[in-house]
């Protein structure tokens, strides 16, 4: 783990401790909440995104009061910053299905990128910054998960040539 990632994750831990006692409207859901409820964090050069109460939240990497990015009727999780820090890919669960979504990192309207009845779960961004790596059992009769790439502009996903995969990153 590089020094910047370690520093940002430490800042996230401090944020969790400080926000738990915050009494502002923006952080009202955090008042008195145990820090262990903040999970699935990712960091960019300047921000940390995490899941809390099934929504995505954003905070500066130095700490502060987090800002809720999503407030929809579904569950948002597994958010990952694009390599340039401008976009968030995340797994959205709306109407019973889990799919890959994209939105600007500072907030905005999510765009659905996959349309499959099975579970599509965001894993990471491809280093080119144009594709999102996700796992799915869509192509396997026994339900084993495999990696796919989908372009951030949408289109049909392309299977990554691996027999099976669950977690990983591309470098």
How much of the chain exceeds pLDDT 70, in percent?
Answer: 78
How many Cα atoms sit within 13 Å of 18 on the Cβ side? 12
Task: For the chain, give the percent of residues with pLDDT over 90.
Answer: 57
Question: What six digits make up the tokens of 166?
Answer: 């669950």
Question: What's the pTM?
Answer: 0.80
Q: For 63-92, how does the pLDDT look when each residue is reduced to its tens digit (9 = 90+)?
A: 889 999 998 789 999 999 999 999 999 999
Task: Count CB-CB contacts under 10 A for residue 53.
Answer: 14
Q: Which of 76-90, 132-146, 151-165 has the highest mean pLDDT?
A: 76-90
Ordered strands of the 39-43 beta sheet: 39-43, 47-52, 55-60, 67-68
What is the rounded average pLDDT of the residues 32-55? Answer: 83
């Amino acid at each position: 783990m590089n020094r910047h990632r370690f520093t940002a994750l430490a800042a996230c831990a401090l944020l969790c401790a400080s926000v738990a006692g915050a009494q502002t409207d923006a952080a009202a859901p955090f008042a008195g909440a145990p820090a262990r409820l903040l999970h699935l964090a990712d960091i960019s050069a300047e921000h940390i995104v995490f899941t809390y109460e099934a929504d995505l939240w954003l905070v500066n990497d130095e700490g502060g009061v987090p800002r809720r990015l999503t407030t929809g009727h579904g569950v948002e999780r597994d958010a990952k910053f694009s390599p340039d820090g401008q976009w968030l890919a995340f797994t959205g669960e709306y109407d019973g299905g889990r799919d890959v979504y994209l939105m600007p990192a500072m907030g905005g309207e999510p765009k659905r990128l996959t349309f499959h009845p099975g579970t599509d779960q965001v894993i990471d961004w491809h280093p080119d910054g144009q594709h999102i790596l996700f796992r799915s059992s869509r192509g396997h009769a026994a339900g084993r998960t495999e990696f796919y790439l989908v372009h951030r502009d949408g289109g049909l996903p392309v299977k990554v040539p691996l027999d099976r995969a669950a977690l990983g990153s591309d470098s």
